[in-house]
Amino acid sequence: MAVIVDLDDETPVDQSSTNASSFPSVKPLHHSLVASASGSERKTALEAVRPNPNINGFSAALSCYPIASQLASQLDLNTLHDLSRTCRQFRANLLEYRDQLVKNSLHCEMDDLEPGTTLPWREASTSGRQLTSGRISRCARDMVNECRRCGTVVCRNCTIKPPKQSALQARHRRLCRTCSKAPLQLLTNPQRSPTTVGTSSPPGSPKTGPAFIDAGSPPAFTAPAFERTPCSCDPMVWLCQPCGQHLRNTDTMYIRAWTWRTRYSHYLGGVGTGAGEGNEGVNCGRGSGCLSAKIVEQETNCNAETLAKLEGSSGSPERWTGTSYRAQEIEGIGGVFKMKTKNYVPVGETVKIYEDERDQSIQYLKREVAGKLRSWCSWCERVIAGERDTKEAVGARPGSSGSSSTSSST
């Protein structure tokens, strides 16, 4: 696409101003205000004396179509409209390419799908309770943003339905001692998938301690663009449909795990396997991304892909059947046979449990919901700053946490 401009018909830019002489390519302001002849002459005289304060490097960049087009591809229509309302110089630079910038603005990844097309995450769904498995309306262009969890660009029509305010309390996950005491920068860095996930062989020498960032080396200037900022699900939840399908079930299972752990020792006669004791406690909310994660052997359900890898690694042309150390065939409920595999996976450290939480049914984590302790959001997988982090952000000295540590279980 090419934009043809007749330079002979343009009004020459006033070169008397020192600011305008530095950026000769900046387009002049065009006003549509109708005024009297005397008022127009007075206004022209004032503009000749007063320099334009909005002529700078950024306004000169907006007058270049390639730069403006690349910038518009990262903004939705609302943000692009707010940018044009910043000042009259910005509006004059963007108004010339209005039609092109609107078409090139940020759009949803599902924008290419026609209404009635089966959505990718519902192709394998066999539930008969859903009235439709395809999209109903077209994607919007005014509110488009990245999913707070996976980063997929979705519009307001492709996000999940905003949950109730009471459901926000169940999204908190308790962090272990290492993750709660670590600098906030370690929890905002993008997580890397560990190399030991899903391996059937034990690691050589796993690292038991967390790897902290070198405080002497300054971060790169592009680091803020890749950091996962703290959770913002409280004012607005922006999650795509695949990430928000099983949020309620996951929160319910987590709360039930807390309730079961608190009553575990009573059911077994007080043998010392309750919450926060041994390996039977509740793990850190960050899961495999815990700073003190340890490698343990865990049994998981064997899917078709894992079973195909096991058959290929056996080297036998016959079908891989039977049991072994790596996989075992068990009989489930209703006589259904399932295959279990043993893999070495990283598991988070056991979290604390306070004395007042041992003998009561836990509906949600009160300390994390109140903002006293740092927690982890299970919806967007981002850290939720606590009271100590808020005080450190404003420059205040946080108080001692000795009182809370004495009431917790070690």
Say how many Å lie between the first and final Cα of the chain, rounded.
67
Confidence of residue 179 (pLDDT cuts 50, 70, 90): very high
- Confidence class for position 364, pLDDT limits 50, 70, 90: confident
Element (H, E) at 296: strand 294-301
Q: Residue 192: pLDDT band by 50, 70, 90 thresholds?
A: low
- 3-state DSSP assignment of residue 159: strand
- Please return the burial class of 123, using the count of CB atoms within 10 Å of its CB with bins 0-12, 13-18 and 19+: exposed
The amino acid sitting at 119 is L
Sheet holding 294-301, edge to edge: 294-301, 337-347, 327-331
Q: Percent of the chain scored above 70 by pLDDT?
A: 63
The conformation of residue 230, written as its DSSP 8-state character, comes to: P
Residue pair 37/66 in contact (Cβ under 8 Å)? The answer is no
Select the highest-mean-pLDDT range: 186-200, 321-335, 393-407: 321-335
Does the pLDDT at position 378 exceed 90? yes
What's the pLDDT band for 46 if we cut at 50, 70, 90? low
For residues 262 and 196, which has the higher predicted lDDT (pLDDT)?
A: 262
Label residue 404 by pLDDT band (50, 70, 90).
very low
110, amino acid identity: M
Extents of the domains making up the chain:
16-103, 107-119+139-191+229-300+356-405
Residue 220 has pLDDT above 80, yes or no: no
Long-range contact pairs involving 260-264 (C-beta distance under 8 Å, separation at least 24): 261/353, 262/353, 262/357, 262/358, 262/359, 262/360, 262/361, 262/362
**For residue 392, pLDDT beyond 60:** yes
Residue 168, amino acid: L
Give the pLDDT band of residue 23 (cuts 50, 70, 90). low
* Stretch 270-289: mean pLDDT: 67
Q: In one letter, which amino acid is 344?
A: Y
User: Which single residue is written with the structure tokens 């960050």?
Assistant: 286
Residue 375 burial (C-beta neighbours within 10 Å; 0-12, 13-18, 19+):
buried
The Cα 31–Cα 269 span in angstroms is 83
pLDDT for res 76: 92
Predicted local confidence at residue 197, as pLDDT: 45
- The residue written with tokens 């994390």 in the block is 368
pLDDT band at 405 (very low <50, low <70, confident <90, very high): very low
User: Encoding tokens for residue 202?
Assistant: 């034990």
What is the C-alpha to C-alpha distance for residues 356 and 408, in angstroms, rounded to an integer?
9
Q: Give me the helices (H) in 139-273, please.
A: 177-181, 184-188, 223-226, 247-267
Query: What residue ranges in 164-248 does DSSP mark as E strands?
Result: 172-174
pLDDT for 99-156, tens place per residue? 999 999 999 988 887 766 776 666 555 454 554 555 667 888 889 999 999 989 999 9
What crossing angle do the helices spanning 77-84 and 88-95 adopt, rounded to 10°? 120
128: left (phi over 0), alpha (psi -120 to 50) or beta: alpha
pLDDT band for position 375 (cuts 50, 70, 90): very high
pLDDT of 233 > 50? The answer is yes
Q: For residue 215, what pLDDT is reported?
A: 46
- The pLDDT of residue 265 is 53
- How far apart are alpha carbons 129 and 224 in whole angstroms? 43
Mean pLDDT of 70-84: 92
| Residue-level pLDDT at 352 | 87
Q: How confident is the model at residue 344 (pLDDT cuts 50, 70, 90)?
A: confident
Q: Is the pLDDT of residue 321 over 60?
A: no
Q: Which residue has the higher pLDDT, 199 or 345?
A: 345
CA dist., res. 85 & res. 96, Å (int): 15
- Mean per-residue pLDDT over the chain, rounded: 75
Q: What is the mean pLDDT of residues 213-221?
A: 60
Residue 81 has pLDDT above 90, yes or no: yes
Lookup: tokens for 261? 């752990």
